Amino acid sequence: MLHELTVLSGFDKTGKREEYESIVIHAGETISIVGPTGSGKTAFITDIELLAQGDTFTKRKILINGQPPGSGIRNNPALKPIAMITQNTKCFADLTVEEFLKIHARARGIYSSKIIDETIALANNFTGEKIHRDHRVTILSGGQTRSLLIADAILIGAAPVILLDEIENAGIFKQEVMEIIQDTGKIIIFVTHDPVIALHTQKRIIMENGAVKAVLVQNELEVFAAQRLSDLDRKIGAIREELRADRVITRELMNLKFA
């Protein structure tokens, strides 16, 4: 069982030691990583994904339950307790969705055939344009690929730690994604530029110049603010769907959606 994950500090882009000794993340915690572009957000979660041992640019080290991970865990996907959705929205594998998921399930030591249907169904909750089992993964759009990989991480990766890099991009239904992965007992880390996601997590890690600048705990006012922002975001989402569905804004719709 994974009950905590520890990040031991490394160095910023100029080679200066980061100003913390360690950050401990407990099972069930949700965390967002925020900061300007290029500040090292992706690098931070990539360190976690690779279970870095001082062998990445940042020189950070990752411990599982206070211990350095064994090399089995680092090299065998079936043992890896971490699933990551990268910023990447392209698949190069010349396989159908079904073949892709099947091989990945095998890599993760899952042999049930139900998992394929479940994963495709879940992915289709996140995207407007449906994904089909015999689509080639190479022709999926950015948003569809994202949706498929998120569903894959949740059900096939099925790991106690889930890392998500900017899920708000690529036009998928992020509210649905957030609902499904909140309150699962997992560690969930969002890299994000989106204030709705950032305010919803229990902790925020602020990045600058390749280093962690601060770790903030969500305060009571922010819980309230997150709720309000979510309502607003849902309204924007509803309008987006209206526009996507070829409708025009009428007075009626204004009253309904902007109220």
Partner 1 sequence: MKLLVVAGPPSAGKTALIKQIIRHFHHQLRIAFLKIDVVKAYEDEELQREFGIPTKKVYSGDLCPDHAGVMILGDAVEWAEKTGADLFIMESAGLCLRCSPYLTQGLGVVVLSSISGIHTPEKMGAMVSLADIAVVTKIDLVSQAEREVLIQKIRDLHPKILLMETNALQGTSLQRLYSVILESEEIRQADLMLKGNPPIGTCTICVGKKEVGWRHHFGVVKKLDGAIADYLYRGE
Ligand X SMILES: Nc1ncnc2c1ncn2[C@@H]1O[C@H](COP(=O)(O)OP(=O)(O)OP(=O)(O)O)[C@@H](O)[C@H]1O
Task: Assess contact for 127 and 144: CB atoms under 8 A.
Answer: yes
Report the chain's C-alpha Rg in angstroms. Answer: 19
Contact positions with ligand X (CB under 6 A) in 7-66: 10-13, 35, 37-43, 57-58
Q: Which is nearer to partner 1, 100 or 173 (CB)?
A: 100
Regarding 72 and contact with ligand X (CB under 6 A), the answer is no
Cα torsion through 125, 129, 131, 132, rounded to 10: 120
What are the distances in angstroms from CA 117 to CA 75, 92, 113, 156, 167?
28, 22, 8, 11, 22
Q: Which does 93 bind (CB under 5 to 8 A by kind): Mg ion, ligand X, partner 1, none?
A: partner 1
Contact positions with ligand X (CB under 6 A) in 81-120: 87
What are the distances in angstroms from CA 157 to CA 16, 41, 42, 154, 255?
35, 22, 19, 6, 43
Contact positions with partner 1 (CB under 8 A) in 151-170: 152-153, 156-157
Mark the segment that binds partner 1 (CB under 8 A) among 33-41, 54-62, 187-195, 218-226.
Answer: 54-62
Binding site for partner 1 (CB under 8 A): 46, 49-53, 55-57, 71, 74-75, 77, 83-86, 88, 90-95, 100, 103-104, 106-108, 149, 152-153, 156-157
Binding site for ligand X (CB under 6 A): 10-13, 35, 37-43, 57-58, 87, 210-211
